[in-house]
Amino acid sequence: MDQVIDLNNYSPAKWLPLFKNCSLKTTVIKANLKFLKYLFEDGVVIDPKYKKSQDDNDSLSSLSGCEDQELSNHSSEQLEQKEWVFPEFDEQIKKALEEYNGVFPKLNWKAPRDCYEWVPELNCTSIEEIFTLFKSSTLIGDMLERLASAETLEKLDDSDEQYLESVGGLYIILKKWYDLNGSMEFRCFVRENKLVGICQRKTKHFYPFLKEKQQEIVARISEFFTSKLKNKFFDNSYVFDVYIDIPPKQRVLILDFNPWGELTNPIMFSFDDFSSEKSSGEPEFRYIQDQDSLIIEDLSVNRVPQEFTGELKSENLAQFIKMMEKSVN
């Protein structure tokens, strides 16, 4: 089974328009080359304009026009320092933050999921929090390296947006944050337009009720696949993640699409498990069967400084930001 994968198809910027009626509320914001350069820059530097305490004063300072005046008084040394502000799209971020009252951020097809090592929730209420997560995440860093190398970026002028277009673009994806129940998240495998496997997504926990619910879960997801997804995605083989809403609604919602193969963690399967045609028409369902069989994904390789690894955890994003600030100062 050979298929050439265009990773951009796995960004909500691409698939959301096709599956909006069965997805979480999401805002897609086109970022620019300057933002890509900012993300490549070492350290977690956040412009004062985006500091949480500054948010309320923002509208006042920009209305007064004093920013421009201040700029003309800068010394030449200060002028050389790049201002990491993004007036081209920062209002769109603020609008989504206001509308959703808390967002789960992604960049193209990746979330800063490794930051769960330090914070219990990726529920952002400010630009500062979103940018800090993006800049702290190794998963995001790895994704960015598929778009450009540091050397390539250095040669490009900020206005050279064509480069970014040529690699598929850079999109900030802001999903409305929901308090999802991990027991109802599943990863589903589609091979040649056939649903072949379903497994528990959050394998750090044992959910005893899954044993008796398994047939119902398989039936719901199969029905969802046939009616909403089958033959409608860009590729014939892919992996999708779903969430089944709590009763009474029990709606199936798409959380994400992921490429078939090595870039996606098959969690409780291996892709080889699906290499031969099986006679049964039913997808195979796998789940954690007891407390001794938990699977814990290793996300420990990341950008947060060494001294913060281990037992140090933040209770919330505000604490995490302070921790990162200390690390660069």
Ligand X SMILES: Nc1ncnc2c1ncn2[C@@H]1O[C@H](COP(=O)(O)OP(=O)(O)OP(=O)(O)O)[C@@H](O)[C@H]1O
> Under the rule (CB under 6 A), what is the footprint of ligand X?
24, 104, 106, 110-111, 113, 175-178, 180, 185, 201, 241, 255-256, 258, 265
Q: With contacts defined by CB under 5 A, name the span among 227-235, 244-252, 256-264, 315-323 that binds Mg ion.
A: 256-264
Is the alpha carbon torsion for 286, 291, 293, 297 positive or negative?
positive
The alpha-helical segments, DSSP class H, found in the chain are: 12-19, 33-40, 55-64, 66-72, 76-80, 90-100, 127-136, 138-145, 150-155, 161-166, 210-224, 317-328
Could you give the C-alpha distances from 94 to 48, 78, 108, in angstroms and in order? Answer: 15, 28, 19
Nearest distance from C-beta of residue 306 to ligand X, angstroms: 24
Nearest CB to ligand X, comparing residues 153 and 267: 267
Using CA atoms of 197, 201, 206, 212 in order, give the dihedral in degrees to the nearest 10.
Answer: -40
Contacts of 277 (CB under 8 A, 6+ apart): none
Nearest distance from C-beta of residue 139 to Mg ion, angstroms: 10
Across the beta sheet with 238-244, the strand order is 252-259, 238-244, 185-191, 194-200, 284-286
Long-range contacts of 301-309 (CB under 8 A, 24+ apart): 301/114, 301/138, 302/114, 302/115, 302/117, 302/136, 302/137, 302/138, 302/139, 303/135, 303/136, 303/137, 303/138, 303/141, 304/117, 304/118, 304/136, 308/118
Residue of the chain from 256, 287, 303, 308 that contacts Mg ion (CB under 5 A): 256
Nearest distance from C-beta of residue 65 to ligand X, angstroms: 38
Nearest distance from C-beta of residue 141 to ligand X, angstroms: 13
In terms of Cα–Cα distance, which of 168, 179, 187 is closest to 271? Answer: 187
Nearest CB to ligand X, comparing residues 34 and 124: 124
Nearest distance from C-beta of residue 80 to ligand X, angstroms: 36
Residue with tokens 């719901």: 220
Q: With contacts defined by CB under 5 A, name the span among 29-37, 152-160, 199-207, 249-257 that binds Mg ion.
A: 249-257
Q: With contacts defined by CB under 5 A, name the span among 76-84, 198-206, 246-254, 255-263 that binds Mg ion.
A: 255-263
Nearest CB to ligand X, comparing residues 24 and 93: 24
What phi, psi does 253 have (nearest 5°)? Answer: -125, 140
Q: Is 137 in the site for Mg ion (CB under 5 A)?
A: no
Query: Which one of ligand X, Mg ion, none is in contact with 185 (Cβ closer than 5 to 8 A by kind)?
Result: ligand X
Q: With contacts defined by CB under 5 A, name the span among 46-54, 69-77, 126-134, 248-256 that binds Mg ion.
A: 248-256
Residue of the chain from 258, 259, 267, 285 that contacts Mg ion (CB under 5 A): 258
Nearest distance from C-beta of residue 313 to Mg ion, angstroms: 24
Query: Which one of ligand X, Mg ion, none is in contact with 161 (Cβ closer than 5 to 8 A by kind)?
Result: none
Nearest CB to ligand X, comparing residues 49 and 202: 202
Nearest distance from C-beta of residue 256 to Mg ion, angstroms: 4
Q: Is 11 in the site for Mg ion (CB under 5 A)?
A: no
Nearest CB to ligand X, comparing residues 34 and 110: 110
Query: How many CB atoms neighbour CB 305 within 10 A?
Result: 13
Positions touching Mg ion (CB under 5 A) are: 256, 258
